[in-house]
Amino acid sequence: MTRNSLLDTVPAEFSPERPSSEAVLLAPAAVLTPEGIQHGYGVVVSDGKFLAVAALESLSAEFGGIQRVDLPGRLLMPGFIDSHQHLAQAFGKALAFGEPSEIFKRIWVPLEGFLNQELVYLSGKLAAFEALRGGITTVADAGARSSGDLSVLAQAAEEAGLRCVLGIICNDFPESPNPPDKNEILKRADDHLSRYDGNALITPSLAISIPEIASDWMLNQVYERCREAGRVFQTHVNEHLAAVERSLVDRRLRPLEHLARAKALGPHTLAAHVTLVTPAELNLLRDTDTAVAYNPVASQWKGNAVCPALQMEALGIRLGLGTDGTRSDGFRLVDAAESLQRIAFGLSVGDSSCGGGYKWLDMSSRGGAEVLGLSGVTGSIKPGLAADFLLVDLDVPELTPSWDLPWDLVRLGNRSQIEAVFVGGRLRLWQGWPVDWDGKALMERINKLAGEAVAQAPIKRVHGTSAEYTGFRRELGI
């Protein structure tokens, strides 16, 4: 579908040409607010924000003069928040399927290291496009390992209309034989933290890939800079058995214990994965108010274990959900989050409810904003917050009849039901396609360039393609 024919189907009230200062009253069949599903509610959007969220009757009286858009059969819900993503990995996809853990060493570091700025930009734009198609309106990028100016990722996110917490990597023990100067790393970090002041969509963040790849001094410096700037420090923690054992051999401490010693745990730390966690480490997370990005699909595809998210939540640990660059699909993400808690923990103790449906919608929206330090910006359908929301078609056979919409959305919801994606009050996608830039042209350009990039990057796959794997096993008679 070309841009022009798509635009013909967009209701005039949602046209990108319409001035954002013109308030509009949306009247959907249901609204998902922090208190749950509301029927008979309206939402007033003005200047990119939610101005009012209340019973439609009272809003009609209060805002009688503004345009009203009836949305029968539609749910207005917050956009999903991906609290752990890698925008520079969008060309990798199936290269990582079936691979044993620690694919960052064999696939991601070689691929990201090979990408020039144009390819990083294209990967970022593709990842942003995929995120929006999956109903994700905010992502946290955990830092790309490519050289050069990574502000091209910010450019890509802004062009696509995706809200982005953008990390840059501050490792001072890199794999290369010429480690960068510590002062240069910190100068770059400071520049990054102050670069996006006043930017509507981009929030800076600092990252260290894994704790063992930095000195204790650098871990602490990076944490302190994030604390002073009110930003988030991102790192991968206790993800795989190999990572835990490497840390034990190098530092005589597990990764989380190592972060504690370096004074790099606290309310500004966002620890991704945290799947292999001891009771003492759970206490460390709770006592330091460190947040966690639970990445269920990463566990499905390449993990040794599952983050005990419900146990953490019961301890008062803050959690968001992340894709880790696996699959940018908000509905499949919440489904995986619930399913994995059930399989890994619920089955053995008879916990058949495993969060009760609504918890996973909340963790993937309000919870995600909270762990990213954006709870005053986005994550809920609430007056004063940015109008980041989805219009979801409820009038589908899968939801007929619907007895419990939160549970229905977690287990039966599908990306195909997302009719419109709004970020900052602006329509970004309509029926899965961008309304103000050419998604198909981007895909064509990437198809021309990605093959060569992947062929030339020093990627080492263990598995081979699915056909090679099958042939190899057949030759061995197994």
Minimum distance from residue 441 beta carbon to Zn ion (Å) = 29
The answer to whether the beta carbons of residues 395 and 73 sit under 8 Å apart is yes
Minimum distance from residue 272 beta carbon to Zn ion (Å) = 5
Smaller CB separation from Zn ion, 38 or 299: 299
Minimum distance from residue 51 beta carbon to Zn ion (Å) = 37
- Which span (162-170, 317-325, 383-391, 454-462) binds Zn ion, by CB under 5 A? 317-325
Strands 136-141 and 80-85: parallel
Find the binder of Zn ion among 82, 324, 329, 362 (CB under 5 A): 324
Smaller CB separation from Zn ion, 327 or 445: 327
Smaller CB separation from Zn ion, 77 or 237: 237
Residue 469, token pair as written in the block: 């794997």
Torsion angle, alpha carbons of 336, 338, 341, 342, to 10: -110
Smaller CB separation from Zn ion, 277 or 387: 277
The CA distance from 370 to 366, in Å, is 6
The CA distance from 356 to 341, in Å, is 11
Smaller CB separation from Zn ion, 43 or 244: 244
The CA distance from 46 to 155, in Å, is 25
- Which span (113-121, 246-254, 319-327, 377-385) binds Zn ion, by CB under 5 A? 319-327
Minimum distance from residue 250 beta carbon to Zn ion (Å) = 20
Smaller CB separation from Zn ion, 130 or 324: 324
Residue 222, token pair as written in the block: 């990076």
Minimum distance from residue 295 beta carbon to Zn ion (Å) = 7
Smaller CB separation from Zn ion, 32 or 213: 213
The CA distance from 94 to 29, in Å, is 39
Cis peptide leading into residue 401 (ω within 30°): yes
Residue 120, token pair as written in the block: 């990083």
Site string for Zn ion, 269-308 (x = CB under 5 A): ----------------------------------------
Minimum distance from residue 416 beta carbon to Zn ion (Å) = 27
User: Binders of Zn ion among 144-183, rule CB under 5 A?
Assistant: none
Examine residue 112 and tell whether it contacts Zn ion (CB under 5 A).
no
Minimum distance from residue 102 beta carbon to Zn ion (Å) = 12
- Residue 181's contacts (CB-CB under 8 Å, 6 or more residues apart) are none
- Residue 332's contacts (CB-CB under 8 Å, 6 or more residues apart) are 134, 297, 415
Minimum distance from residue 327 beta carbon to Zn ion (Å) = 13
The answer to whether the beta carbons of residues 330 and 362 sit under 8 Å apart is no
Smaller CB separation from Zn ion, 244 or 381: 244
Strands 319-321 and 291-294: parallel
Angle at CA of residue 360, ends 354 and 366, nearest 5°: 140
Smaller CB separation from Zn ion, 71 or 166: 166
Phi, psi of 74 (to 5 degrees): -115, 145
Minimum distance from residue 39 beta carbon to Zn ion (Å) = 39
Residue 70, token pair as written in the block: 């009836």
H or E segment and range at residue 26: strand 24-33
- Which span (189-197, 245-253, 318-326, 391-399) binds Zn ion, by CB under 5 A? 318-326
Q: Which residue is nearest to Zn ion (CB)?
A: 324
| Burial of 261 (C-beta count, 10 Å sphere; 0-12/13-18/19+) | middle
Phi, psi of 270 (to 5 degrees): -115, 105
Minimum distance from residue 444 beta carbon to Zn ion (Å) = 29
- Residue 155's contacts (CB-CB under 8 Å, 6 or more residues apart) are 121, 124
Number of residues that bind Zn ion (CB under 5 A): 1
Smaller CB separation from Zn ion, 30 or 169: 169
Residues that bind Zn ion (CB under 5 A): 324
